Structure 1
Amino acid sequence: MRLAKSLTNRDMQITFTFLNTLWKSEKGRMRKEHMNIKKEGKQIRHIGQRFGRKHVIALSFFMPLIVMTGCCIAFGIQPFGDNSLLIIDGLHQYMPFYSVLYDKLKGGESLFYSFRSGLGINFLSLFSYYLSSPLNLLIIFFKKTQLNMAVSMIIVLKIALSGMTAGIYFSSKSKKQGLHVLMISMAYALSSYMVGYCWNVMWLDAIMIFPIVVMGLERLIDKKDGRLYCLALFYALYCNYYIAFMICIFAIIWYIFYSFKSVKQFFFRGISFALYSFLAAGMAAVLLIPAYLGIKQTASGEAMTLPDHSFLTNAADLLNRQFAMGSPISHDNFDGNANLYIGIFTVLAVGLYLLNQQIKISDKIKKILLVGFFYLSFGEMILNFIWHGFHDQYGIPNRFSFLFGFVLLHMLWEVFEHLDGTKGWHVAFACMAGVGLLAYARVKGTQPLEDKVYGVAGMLFILYGMILLLYTLSRKRKVWYKAAFCAVAIIEIATTACMGFNENGQISVSKFFYGTEDMEKAAASLKDGTFYRSELASALMVDENAWYPINSVGLFGSTATDRMVNMMDNLGFYTGCNEYLYKGATPVTNFLLNVKYLYYHQEDSLTTDFKYLKTQGTFDIYENPAKGMSIGYLMNDSIKDWYYDSAYPFRVQNDLGEQAFDVFELFHDIEIDDPATNGCTASKTNDGEYYFEYGDSRPDNMTFTIPITETAENLYLFYDGTQVENAQIMVDGTNVKSGDLDGYMLPIGKVSAGSEVKVTFELKGETEDGYVRLSAADFDQEVFEDFKKTAAEQAFTVTDYSSNSLEGTVDASDNQTLFLSIPYDSGWKVKVDGKEVKTCRIGDAFLGVKVPSGEHTVSLKYTPSGFSIGWKVSLAAAIIFIVLCFVKYRYKADIKKKE
């Protein structure tokens, strides 16, 4: 018993010692683990302190700014070289329009109207689409020769600000600030959309403010405060109503898909949503109403019929665009293309988003439906047409794709907010799904990318997957793996942006704008107090005439009126859907449109009757020998019967002379034989018009022979067609003109009797059939002398003018119609001897007014249609908004007092 008792005591002692040792060991281990956790917590808090919200927002601005500055240095963008970011229409349209704005701001001119291009344009309408950004005021701090640099810097600034606004939005929603918000902000600012389309500088303000619009909308729903939403949407609408229209559609969808607490909240917040939306539009009405009335007169504004249902592209091709690293779209005539790349990590995030159990199923369903709706919109013709404001895309496809990128980034943000809910198998599945999508896009896409793109994308999927897998397995270094993921993503998006800008290319400023100072001096030296127009023999950029301080004829812009485009087409000028250029002018149209001077670059050549005047730097200046020209002429009232709607410009100009001044046959038609064909068939359908059926493309698909039986002192040709690609014009075997010459009057010059003119066409072969129309005529100089004499005797004598007004005198021998070579616009108010009179259209496009017999003073003043009601609506809306802000302030103050 004593032995047993002794053993029992010993066993108990041993057991107690063992338990005590075990407890101390476990206690030490727990203390050590606690210290590790505490240490990690300190690390996290330290990083949180280092990356507080203010720091994240600041970095969201400065990091894209640094990347863009690096690109500017690398690609020689001014001031680091001689290049500009303004490519494509940025060169051909926007920079010349900036020049007009620059001169108006410097000279204190009215923003209502400008004679700098298009024979006269509603400048406020153009301003509302291209130039209304407040940031454009920065250009006044630069010289005219530095304007390209100024606008390139504005683009860089707007891209950086887009990162900042994205940072403001996502940081306002984040429970923990960190690199993930910076990563998302940079992806928004440097997506393929921004890189590819940044030359559309007027769009960037709306894209920049878009995250704040969403932030304001969510604040309206959650806190019953719509002030931020209203101001942000107003800014978007004011700066660019076109992109703002897309934002409005998205705002409605986002509202519908938002997680409301109750049906009551959905209904009553909906009333506030509508109220503040209309209030924002009301505050921008000073521009929106004139812009709407102006755009309704354009070709796209008059043709808003929904297209037939069809699909532009498929899902595989759209997926390829999400993997298109370094190859953004800057311009593409294929409407199914899209800039969708916003980081390979966003593709991975979709899978992680769907698998994360901490994210509500309802939110997942909504986001997937939204992603699917965007994919459908990119491919389906009707939805695509609606997204683009009921307009065609015209070479810049899927302009609303930045909204899709925002949705993906929002999903990525939610993944990082609930990253602890990500499991290892989630990561593995998402990576496999990403690789599977790569393979599907490569195999099924009709326009696959280079294999190296798929290889890099696949490696990035694996790299991101490994980092996230280590994150799920780690207990001590989660914060570091999260930071590593963000760092790799930031490097990816920055590198891809640089590659994208390299792919875009840049334009040389000195190549296109070298004549700026010379033209300024030349125009100043030719000012004589009278109103006249000047033009360029050949433009380096389409709207080069607007770049210089001269009143001119041509216009390429979205606000070109449809009636004016058709009229200039009928007169024989080169035209497009939103352009009419000086190419195709004749002595008749030069006199009619008051073109006094022609400027030649030293490399230019143009057959004309203008006479050399002098040389100013890099320009040779030629003067119109005709005397008595004016911006307006008294014409016979029979001008109302002018047969202007014809596909044969010789007939149009002949009928003008007859109806206006009783002058007949300015152009004498020349007979043309039926064409010889090769690889196609042709049958005559009208005078000089032939329907053809295409076989195969050959340099001599159609050859017209024009026998010259009598000497033609001034031979002109005109041809147009649906499929004509190349033309060659030969006189007695000598090539006199060749290239793409269709759609405008071609001066050939003197051709002696007995000569033979041959015109050879090559057909494009885009369709199986089409038409070609060719006409020839000899310009009669003697008849033109009668035309000039009669017109000069009845010219409108300008006594005073400004950028939006004209005043002068006329002496009518009878009741006549005053023709003014100004595009018709209801904004023009005309007074005859101080009494306002009605205006009319001449040729459905030019401004006209009835004038009784006798000597009269005629004055014209322009105010854009809709401006009067627009500023009143804006003022009323602004007052209502201020009252609402005051009420909200008092309400909050009362709440605080009660507390």
Structure 2
Amino acid sequence: MSSSKKQIYSHKFLLILAFLLPFFIMTIIYIAMGVYPFGKETLLTIDLGQQYVDFLSYYRHTLLHEPQALFYSFSKGIGGEMTGLWSYYLNSPFNLIMLLFPQRFLPVGVTVLLLIKIALSGLSFAYLLIKKFEGKDLLVPIFSLSYALMGFIIVNQLHIMWLDSLIFLPLIILGLEKIIDGESGVFYSLILGLALFSQYYLTYMICLFLIFYFVFAIVKQTHTKFFTRSQTIRFYINRFLKFTGYSLLAGGLAAFSLLPNFVSLLGGKASHTSEILDWGLKYPFLEVLSKFYIGSFNFDQMPSGHPNLFVGTVAIISFLYYLVNKKFSWKERLTATLLTIFFFFSMNVDFLNKVWHAFQNPAWYPYRFSFLVCFFFILNGFRSLNKTLHFPLWFAITLLFLQTASALYVLKKDFSFLTPLQVLATVLLLVFVLVLFLLRETEYNWLPGLLLLVTIVEMSANAAIDLTRLSYVDMAPFNDYQSVLNTMLADIRPPEDDFYRIEKVFQRSKNDSFQAHYPSASHFSSTFETETPGLFGRLGFPDSSFVISYSSGTLFTDAFFGIRYMIENKPLPETIQNTEHFYDLRANANRPDLTHYQLMSEAFRTKTYQNPYALSLGFTAPEKILSTNLENSRPIENQEKILEALSVSSVFQPFYAEVPINTLITTNIRSSQSSDLNRTYTKKDTNEDASLEIQLTTKSKDPYYLVLDSKIDKDVADLKLDGQPLNYYKTYRNDQVINLASGVNDQHIQFTFDFKKESLTIHDLRVYQFDQKEFERVVAETKSNQLDIDSFSQTKIEGSVMADATKPVLMFTIPYSNGWKVKVDDKEVDTLEVLDSLLAVNIDPGYHSIKLQYQTPYLWQGTLISLTSLGIVFIISRKKGAGKKLSL
């Protein structure tokens, strides 16, 4: 195990072992967890189950059947560019494995993909140790296993696309070391460029880390030991320029993806960038000690936990010893110590944490750059242990003392993710490993194998504990839901020469449309353009920065967004006893107004309604639509504004008429306090249930809608309609529109708020009656001048429209983007933005042919930069002596 010891393991053997160990360990853990086909579970959990598996389905469909959807897709909300989504989620070259798995076996493909990526992480780290740091014995698989199964990878394996960055990181560092050693930087540029293309988000963090690692690598190198001062300065400048140049070259190689993606990010993830300089601490510094214990993770650590820093006992002891190991220069150790201190501050100080996350506050999964800190620990731990056999007794005693103090601290703090057994196991392992380290000087033949065994047991135990603390989607219900989607869509998918949208009152995820490949109005992704959720939020839909859930539609919004078919769930028959194989189709919307639609078909689990009011993708409108501005928290008023703007005739009465609430019944509530539009109700007896109930009676068959205050969430009150729990989407940031009744005259309505806290504040509680007759008039007017679609693809739409002088604006329910080019009678016209979100053009009276073409902005410019960069790489590679040592 020392540098002087004879080589007994071939490099090939060590690399194979570095790959197979994590692969088989994780396979055994998955089998023990009952992952399909060895049990009923899948690995689909949280975002992997709610986003990524749907995007992987879209990935397969796009590459195999619909390549136009690579650039734009109407499965993404009401439509959206796809460059950002591909760059963040799908560019990984490893995703090609998914083409081997049929749709119904996507969860199996995910399992295989995870196994391969985790194993490749170990392999790439081992390759770095062998190629640069003289790895030649069992220390290589010991430390590569610590890397492949470190806590960050285990708890974030659900972010399947992030793992690419962990595979490429060791190779990028190897390339940087080659530059420091005077070799060509082509390898560095190629790998970093591939990493930027594959997953730019974590690679951005790697790029920041490279700046610090470059300084560290310069300090630890020995080239300048016998240089004069001028030679040393020349050396530093030379390496810095090469590092900078080859880094820029890597960016150039990936520019075909990065440049259009950067433009896309300006309307998506980057638009949420925080500008607040907050130097406050996230948690008491010593609490980070809890994350070095076995199994230091549970679900609560995902939304707002501590950084994941578990790397195993061997690795962390070795790193701590590295900081005092005199085999390394004091300058190197001082630099490493300062960087370590900086890293810990970065994982606590709010502003520094934001810098690592592209100046954002990450939503869930905090301290995502902690994998870089773990890499720094593991790499230098290996270097320390690989360079010396002697391990001083004083250091072992000091570590025992510190570990005892740490254990007492975490036990006293009583962290929810740590049990006394976990703490005890970690302490005992530390003692055992210290004994083995003290014995290394004797060079027992069995000792390296025992250290490897200890690492296998510890890293396996940590992975098993972490993974079993999450819940997962079962295989049978997942496939059942796919079957439900395919059945309900069989007869209603849009033909090639037409376009319309399809929605439903239930969902497994907001990305069901990607799973089953149909145009919808719901979506969830981290790269979602902000304008579309903003529009939907102002119209009364549940939304967030990255989410739209089309679960509170009205007759108007269904028509406006061209929802031609609405699907309603049916309860399972009572004769079916075993329901574990069926997905529970729970409604997340209350839509009695579907009675105004035609029941088209009925299947085993669903009913399909055809909407006779659905408008085309494009239609003409009066000029006043251009000056229509929507306001936050005014959903009914905003829908009213759009209806009035679409109406050619004068509107003498509102489409939404406020209905007085005749009866208000309170139970266990003191007299209310009001301030402007807010009214607060407080319990009389805090130990008793309290409720507030409004009652009214419908005066017609028109739909009735209630505006639900955005501050009334699931933690404040339970909502009931006519004594039954209300079906609605419970997460929202804007006021939501709830359909109370429709189609029945003289219907008595009871809407109840059951208190879950001592008081309840309600803002501007109002109920509206929708004027069905006036709505039908406006729809008929609009349909007379709507776009007749002749051909449709995701990036090209052709049709015709008859315009008249009263409606000089042709608007589309397509999100506005510079990528859309519109031709009227084969002449390109300037595009406009209406309602701060949608695409429109001016149009003259008469019959016109219309062509819409989408081209990803800056794609060709980015491609030109990439081709130029590739040419530079070719020229450098062809130079005489490329890859050999370069002189100063």
Judge same fold: TM > 0.5, yes or no: yes
Of 148, 151, 163, the residue aligned with 1:189 is: 148
- Once the two structures are TM-superposed, the CA of residue 376 in structure 1 deviates from its matched residue by 0.9
Is the 2:3–2:387 Cα contact (8 Å) retained in structure 1? Answer: no
CA distance in 2 between counterparts of 1:648 and 1:700 reads 32
Deviation at 1:453, TM superposition (A): 1.3
Deviation at 1:466, TM superposition (A): 1.6
Using the TM superposition, give the Cα deviation of residue 834 of structure 1 relative to its aligned residue in structure 2, in angstroms: 0.6
Q: 1:41 to 1:844 in 2, by over 3 A?
A: closer
Distance 1:308 1:412, change over 3 A: same
Distance 2:856 2:766 in 1: 40
1:308 corresponds, among 253, 259, 278, to 278
Amino acid aligned to 1:91: G
Aligned residue in 2 for 1:14? none
Q: Distance in 1 between matches of 2:79 and 2:143?
A: 45
How many residues are treated as equivalent by the alignment? 845
Q: Which residue of 1 aligns with 2:562?
A: 594
- Counterpart for residue 612 of structure 1: 599
Structure 1 segment 708-727 matched on structure 2, within 5 A: 708=697, 710=699, 713-722=702-711, 724=713, 725-727=715-717
Relative distance call for 1:569 and 1:675 in structure 2 (3 A) is: farther
Identify which of 793, 797, 811 aligns with 1:806.
Answer: 797
Moved more, 416-425 or 867-876: 416-425
SS at match of 1:83: coil
| Match of residue 777 from structure 2 | 786
The structure that is helix-richer by fraction is: 1
Which has the higher mean CA deviation after the structures are superposed, 200-209 or 774-783?
Answer: 774-783
What is the SS of the residue equivalent to 2:438?
Answer: helix
Q: Which residue of 1 aligns with 2:548?
A: 580
Q: Which residue of 2 aligns with 1:287?
A: 257
| Closer, same or farther: CA 808–684 of 1 in aligned 2, 3 Å | farther
Preserved contact between residue 808 and residue 842 of structure 2 (Cα < 8 Å): yes
Taking the TM superposition and a 5 Å limit, the aligned residue runs for 1:332-731 are 332=301, 334-443=303-412, 449-472=418-441, 474=442, 477-517=443-483, 519-520=485-486, 522-527=488-493, 528=495, 529-603=497-571, 604=585, 605=587, 606-607=590-591, 608-609=594-595, 610-616=597-603, 618-627=604-613, 629-662=615-648, 664=651, 665-672=654-661, 684=674, 687=677, 689-690=678-679, 703=692, 705=694, 707-708=696-697, 710=699, 713-722=702-711, 724=713, 725-729=715-719
- 2:162 counterpart SS class: helix
Q: What's the C-alpha RMSD, in Å, of the aligned pairs?
A: 3.0
1 CA distance for matches of 2:126 and 2:686?
55
3-state SS of paired residue (1:798): strand
Alpha-carbon contact 2:78-2:519 (below 8 Å) kept: yes
> 1:728, 1:737 within 8 Å by CA — same for their partners in 2?
no
Q: Which residue of 1 aligns with 2:577?
A: none
How far residue 514 of structure 1 moved from its aligned partner, in angstroms, is 1.6
Q: Which residue of 2 aligns with 1:760?
A: 753
CA distance in 1, matches of 2:173, 2:357: 20
CA offset digits 1:700-723 (Å, max 9, x no partner): 777363544845742211212336
Task: Give the structure 2 partner of residue 821 of structure 1.
Answer: 813
Q: In the aligned structure 2, how far is the partner of 1:706 from the partner of 1:670?
A: 11
Distance 1:611 1:709, change over 3 A: closer
What is the alpha-carbon distance in structure 2 between the residues aligned to residue 614 and residue 672 of structure 1?
A: 37
Classify 1:700/1:841 alpha carbon distance in 2 versus 1 (closer, same or farther; 3 Å). farther
Give, in angstroms, the shift of residue 533 of structure 1.
Answer: 0.9
Task: Report if the CA contact (8 A) 1:523-1:549 is conserved.
Answer: no
Q: Which amino acid is 2:451 matched to?
A: F
- CA offset at residue 331 of structure 1? 6.5
Cα shift readout 1:350-406 (whole Å, capped 9, x = no counterpart): 442234322222222122222211211111100111111111211111111111111
Distance 1:880 1:43, change over 3 A: closer
Relative to structure 1, is the Cα distance of residues 730 and 491 closer, same or farther in structure 2, using a 3 angstrom cutoff? Answer: closer
Distance 1:684 1:569, change over 3 A: farther
Question: Aligned with 2:842: secondary structure?
Answer: strand
In the alignment, is the contact (CA less than 8 A) between 1:731 and 1:755 conserved in 2? no
* 428-437 or 364-373, larger mean C-alpha shift: 428-437
Q: Letter of the aligned partner of 1:500 in structure 2?
A: D
Question: Which residue of the other structure, out of 263, 267, 283, is the alignment partner of 1:297?
Answer: 267
Q: Which residue is 1:10 aligned to?
A: none
Change over 3 Å in CA distance of 1:775–1:277 after alignment to 2: farther
CA contact (8 A) 2:876 2:882 kept: no
Counterpart-to-counterpart distance in 2, 1:112 and 1:562: 18
Q: 1:803 to 1:506 in 2, by over 3 A?
A: same
| Amino acid paired to 1:872 | L
Between the aligned residues of both structures, percent identity stands at 24
Give the partner amino acid of 2:102: K
Q: Which amino acid aligns with 1:153?
A: V
3-state SS, counterpart of residue 470 of structure 1 = helix
The answer to whether the Cα contact below 8 Å between 2:296 and 2:418 also exists between their aligned partners in 1 is no
Change (3 A) 1:446 1:186: closer
- Return 543-552 or 768-777, whichever deviates more: 768-777
The CA distance in 2 between the partners of 1:394 and 1:694, in whole Å, is 34
Residue deviations 1:583-623, cap 9 Å, x none? 1111111111111122344444552234332245x542412
Of 68, 71, 75 in structure 1, the residue corresponding to residue 26 of structure 2 is 68
Higher RCO (CA 8 Å, separation ≥ 6 residues): 2
- CA shift, 1:346, in A, is 2.9
Give the corresponding residue for 2:827: 835
Task: Tell me by how many angstroms 1:217 deviates.
Answer: 0.5
Classify 1:701/1:379 alpha carbon distance in 2 versus 1 (closer, same or farther; 3 Å). Answer: farther
Shift of 1:762: 3.5
> What's the CA shift for 1:690?
4.5
Q: Matches of residues 172-187 of structure 1 in structure 2 within 5 Å?
A: 172-175=131-134, 177-187=136-146
Question: What is the CA–CA distance in structure 1 between the aligned matches of 2:722 and 2:66, rounded to whole Å?
Answer: 57
Residues 519, 470 of structure 1: CA spacing in aligned structure 2 closer, same or farther, 3 A cutoff?
Answer: same
Other structure's SS at 1:201 match? coil
Question: Letter of the aligned partner of 2:55 in structure 1?
Answer: F
Structure of higher CA gyration radius: 1
Contact 1:645–1:652 (8 Å) recurs in 2: yes
Contact 1:583 1:744 in 2 (8 A): no
Residues 1:55 and 2:13 are matched in the alignment? yes
Deviates more, 1:753-762 or 1:69-78: 753-762
Report deviation, 1:233. Answer: 0.7
Deviation at 1:160, TM superposition (A): 0.5
Give the distance between the partners of 1:375 and 1:78, measured in 2 at CA: 39
Partner Cα distance (2:687, 2:875) in 1: 72
Contact preservation (8 Å) 2:655, 2:771:
yes
> Is 1:129 the counterpart of 2:122 in the alignment?
no
Q: Which residue of 2 aligns with 1:17?
A: none
SS of structure 1 residue aligned to 2:274 = coil
Query: 1:612 is matched by which residue type in structure 2?
Result: L
Q: Hey, what's the Cα distance between the residues in 1 that align with 2:858 and 2:318?
A: 48
- Residue 280 of structure 1 and its aligned partner are, at CA, apart by 0.6
Is 1:98 matched up with 2:56? yes
Q: Secondary structure at the match of 1:136?
A: helix
8 Å CA contact 1:145–1:517 kept in 2: the answer is: no
**1:623–1:75 CA distance, 2 compared to 1 (3 A):** same
Alignment TM-score, normalising by the size of structure 2? 0.89
SS of residue paired to 1:341: coil
**Alignment partner, residue 796 of structure 1:** 787
SS in 2 for 1:857: strand
Indicate if the aligned counterparts of 2:390 and 2:440 stay in contact, CA closer than 8 A.
no
Counterpart amino acid of residue 640 in structure 1? L
| Unmatched tracts of structure 2, length 5 or more | 225-231, 572-584
Give the structure 1 partner of residue 581 of structure 2: none
3-state SS, counterpart of residue 169 of structure 2: helix
* Deviation sequence 1:700-757 (CA, Å, 0-9, x none): 7773635448457422112123363254455676766689476432111147659464
Q: Tell me which amino acid in the other structure corresponds to 1:513.
A: N
